[in-house]
Amino acid sequence: MLFKEIVGNLHTKKQLLEGVKSNRVGHAQLFSGKSGSAKLTLALAYAQFLNCENRTVNDSCDTCSSCLKYNNLSHPDLHLIIPVLKVNNIKDPVSDHFIGQWRDFIYGNHYSSLNDWIDLFVTENKIGQQGTIYKHEADNIHKKLSLKNYEADYRVVLIWMPERMNLEASNKLLKLFEEPPKGTIFILVTENANQLLPTTLSRLQTIKVSDFTTEDIVNHFGKNILSFEKAKELKNLTDANLCKISKILNDNENNLDLFNDFSSWMRLSYKMDIQGISKWMDQLAAKGRKQQKLFLSYVIKMVRECLIYNFASNNLLKINENELAFLTKFSPFIHEGNSILIVEKLEESIKAINRNANAKILFFELSLQMVKFLKLKRKFAIK
Ligand SMILES: [Zn+2]
């Protein structure tokens, strides 16, 4: 991974590069950022830069023998540690059992989250495991580090999602975080730093990875794929999660129009246009379950935005101009008397879709409820 392949995060990149140039490389660093942010990619670009044999001012060369090995995550002095599951009759699972699969998963999307990883095992994972880094893993790390570095200046132990270390594993690694063998650095990549034990946290130097901005998102996908307005909408919908945005774009290539679907649904429901609703419903029922769920999550978000518009400062709104124009007229119909009922009903519907409910029946029933909810009068005057 090269720094130039990662959009945005200019400040963090600068901080990392300057650290290397001035020989201030912390021996235990925590890259902390939300799901779908650049924490793993920055950590990988940083590790690659540390070991590049032919660095340029701001990036790795991408062609030296170290870079080539880093490019496919196969450098012998890069140890990848990941949360694992007890599946396929593996008694004491450790990262080495799963690492091939994880590499493919990360090549598929560098911005994937812990949940995405666990979801891969949905059929084998009958007891709903969340992924764990066990004690044997910590023992393994001790063993690996007792050997000499193969070839690199910096041997890197990269722990992806260290918040999944169990207590025994955390305790066994504390000493190493504090004082790793010479030439070894720990890079931890977390999406939930507050789940790390304070004893662990206090031994790490934290690098805060910020959220992607709308501009970053446009730059990542390219202006011809994603307009600024659409990027803003997707950023708000996914909380700036680049992996989720990629998935939505892949799934929806031709029919990603949540706003239009939503605004027409609300208009039809308000007008009690049953024929129109029936047509709209046919269109939505023809889309996949994933898109139906995405649509319902979008409606929940918009109901919440209406409440913010009604009761709080407009600065808190996370919407684009089209949405704002619609909300200005629509939000009076959403209030304390119906918003909870609407959101509950929408959440129930998402669950029903998960249980394979008949989409036409579900959306028809939901529309009738919506007609009823929108007729409910509000009790208090609003701004
Ligand atoms: Zn290089």
Q: How far is the CA of 4 from the centre of ligand 1 (A)?
A: 14
303 CA distance to ligand 1 middle (Å): 50
**188 neighbors 141 (Cβ within 8 angstroms):** no
At a CB cut-off of 8 Å and minimum separation 6, what does 193 contact? Answer: 30, 32, 163, 201, 206
Residue corresponding to tokens 């929408």: 346
Rounded to the nearest whole angstrom, what is the distance from the C-alpha of residue 10 to the centroid of ligand 1?
A: 21
Cβ count near 271 (within 10 Å):
12
Quote the ligand 1 centre to 170 CA distance (angstroms).
33
Q: Tell me what pLDDT residue 378 has.
A: 60
- The reported pLDDT for the residue numbered 51 is 95
Q: Which domains does the chain have, with CATH numbers?
A: 3-210 (3.40.50.300), 252-375 (1.20.272)
Q: Which two structure tokens, joined as six digits, stand for 147?
A: 């050997």
Which tokens in the block code for residue 240? Answer: 């700036």
Burial grade of 250 (CB within 10 A; 0-12, 13-18, 19 or more) = exposed
* H helix or E strand, kind and range, residue 158: strand 155-160
Ligand 1 mean position, distance from CA 372 (Å) = 64
How many angstroms separate the alpha carbon of residue 325 from the centre of ligand 1?
Answer: 51
Tokens representing 159 are: 């722990």
User: What tens-digit pLDDT sequence spans the chain (383 residues)?
Assistant: 999 999 999 999 999 999 999 999 999 999 999 999 999 999 999 999 999 999 999 999 999 999 999 999 999 999 999 999 999 888 899 999 999 999 999 999 999 999 999 989 988 887 889 999 999 999 999 999 988 777 778 999 999 999 999 999 999 999 999 999 999 999 999 999 999 999 999 999 999 999 999 999 999 999 888 899 889 989 998 999 999 999 888 776 545 578 888 999 999 988 888 889 988 888 888 888 888 888 898 899 999 999 999 888 888 888 888 888 999 999 999 998 899 999 999 999 999 988 888 988 999 899 999 988 988 876 554 44
**Maximum Cα–Cα distance for the chain, whole Å?**
74
Distance 78 CA to ligand 1 centre (A): 15
> How many A from CA of 2 to the centre of ligand 1?
10
pLDDT of residue 318: 82
CA of 21 to the centre of ligand 1 (A): 15
SS3 content of the chain, % helix, strand, coil (to 5): 55, 10, 35
DSSP state of 170: H
| Residue 79 CA to ligand 1 centre (angstroms) | 18
Per-residue pLDDT at 254: 45
Name the 3-class secondary structure at 47.
Answer: helix
Over the range 1-34, which residues count as b (16 or more CB within 10 Å of their CB) and which as e?
bbbeebbbbeebbeebbebeeeeeeebbbbbbbb
Q: How far is the CA of 136 from the centre of ligand 1 (A)?
A: 33
Compute, in angstroms, the gap from residue 20 CA to the centroid of ligand 1: 14
Tokens describing residue 374: 């929108």
What lies within 8 Å, CB to CB, of 248 at 6+ separation is 234, 237, 238, 256, 294
pLDDT of residue 383: 43
Cα 72 to ligand 1 centroid, rounded to whole Å:
13
Q: What is the pLDDT of residue 172?
A: 96
Taking the C-alpha atoms of residue 247 and residue 234, their distance in angstroms, rounded to an integer, is: 11
Q: How far is the CA of 218 from the centre of ligand 1 (A)?
A: 28
